[in-house]
A and B are shown apart, each in its own frame.
Chain A
Amino acid sequence: MDIKAANRNGNTILSVNGRIDTLTAPELEQAINMEIGRENKKILLDFSGVSYISSGGLRVLLATAKKLKNPGDKFGICSLQPDVLKVFRLAGFTSIFSIYQSEGEALATW
């Protein structure tokens, strides 16, 4: 898995590429925590390159949602591939954090 970070107008975009599984979920968690540690609390995950997420990966996202729930914080995920979007929707995660069709759509509302 590969994670690239970018900052756009105070928003942190983490572009994730690859499978989020038992082995790689901790890497994602570390990357997110590093940004939160730097006080970057508007985090958008670009999942256009994510083909699979395991329950361990879902756990990381819920933990992030718990950390980013203060006023002013933002947490969302954009550009999900159909199979990953399906897991999110059917697991109920779309009611916990925002899902966007694209990075542009997310940043326009933040």
Chain B
Amino acid sequence: MKLFKLYNKEGDIVERCKKGERKAQQELFTKYSPLLMSVCMRIVAKREEAEEVLSSVFLKVFKSIGSLKEEVPLEAWMRRICINESLNHLRIKRSIFLELDSEDYSFEEYRSHNQEDPWATEELQRMIEKLPLGYRTVFTMVAIEGFSHQEVASLLNMEESSSRSQLVKARQLLQKQITERNYIVKHERATSI
């Protein structure tokens, strides 16, 4: 019953957004902006730029929500717009595909976000954000958002094999960082006892 009510509430917001009601648009923004901000951050990484992208995401959402079909989940639809806008932003700002391997990961930066649980969501989010641009783009699209390598290759104008290799490298780097993070946490705990 609660679910039904929730569904109806969201449906109601969507319907009101379709009519251009400003209050409904604000409700939608309030509800989804933090989630979509994380999606943006995982690709764009810089907060200011991510907000810029998020702004254009919502403008696009409000503009085209009239064409949203009932059977399409709202969140998935918005996430897809978010990914596309983030990629567009990167294309405008810089050529990401020429520098797939050119950025060095700074472990010192990673350490600044030291927290108790190395698997804490917040920490993982930061780790992904700090991956090299190409790694995090492919990793976010495939591992988090569920895009296929074929889709990624098409959207990023690259070979499918490149997408696969970027994903593997990103995964390896993240695993390495988590391992190191675990070691540091354990070491710090040991020395503090």
Q: Do A and B come from one complex?
A: no
